[in-house]
Amino acid sequence: MKKKSVLLLAMLLALSVLITACGGTEAPEDSSEINKDDYFITVATGPTSGLYYPIGGAFSNVIKNNLGYKSSAQSTGASGENIHLIAESKAELAIAMADAIAQAYEGYGAFDGKEPMENLTAIMGLYPNYVQLVTTENSGITKFEDLKGKRVGIGAPNSGVEIGARSLYEAHGMTYEDSRVDYLN
């Protein structure tokens, strides 16, 4: 029950931000003045096979069932695409990895050469995200630089995983051209 209360409180806070941002005018002082039928809240998630989709579905259900707004979860390519959907006003809520958001906000990394997206607002952190590099013992790979010339799965294009992989390559003075990269979900 405590988890439901925390989620509901977080969603109420998020919704108050969203309504002000989406309406183009200030939200009424008295929430009873809000016509909930005037709002549709799209929650950008990730592929249906991933973790973001059921989490986004749960957010959408809270928005519909507990708050009374129309809402749906939209399957997407995850973090990078979700950030663009928010920036283009094609989604009101999105799930994205923090490092991808930081790159978009400041205009570097995967968002290098693009206008910084300073209108992004983080509502909450969902869980810590760790990078794990996995290989077989007989591959000869013992450090990141050993990926030169090797086949490497880097995640779906423009996903948070792929954005993180690109950052790791850059941090080690490498590019995708140094490996045979596979865009794998």
Cα 128 from Cα 87, distance rounded (Å): 24
Angle, CA 73 vertex, CA 96 and CA 52 arms, to 5°: 35
Q: Tens digits of per-residue pLDDT, 86-127?
A: 999 999 999 999 999 999 999 998 899 999 999 999 999 999
On whether both 105 and 54 belong to a single domain, the answer is: yes
Mean pLDDT of 149-154: 95
On whether both 40 and 99 belong to a single domain, the answer is: yes
Range of the domain at 21: 2-111
- Can you tell me whether residue 143 is helix, strand or coil? coil
Global pTM? 0.75
Q: Would 121 be classed as within a structural domain?
A: no
- Report the number of secondary-structure helices (H) and strands (E) in the chain: 5, 5
Q: Can you read off the two tokens belonging to residue 88? A: 């283009």
Q: Would 120 be classed as within a structural domain?
A: no
DSSP 47-70: -TTSSHHHHHHHHHHIIIIIT--E
Cα 185 from Cα 164, distance rounded (Å): 14
Count of domains observed in the chain: 2
On whether both 36 and 95 belong to a single domain, the answer is: yes
Domain boundary among 95, 111, 127: 111
Q: Would 128 be classed as within a structural domain?
A: no
Asked whether 171 and 145 are in contact (CB, 8 A), the reply is no
Q: Would 6 be classed as within a structural domain?
A: yes
Bridge partners (DSSP) listed for residue 180: 151
Instruction: Give percent of the chain above pLDDT 70.
Output: 83
On whether both 23 and 73 belong to a single domain, the answer is: yes
Question: Looking at residue 61, which CATH number applies to its domain?
Answer: 3.40.190.10
On whether both 24 and 60 belong to a single domain, the answer is: yes
- Can you tell me whether residue 8 is helix, strand or coil? helix
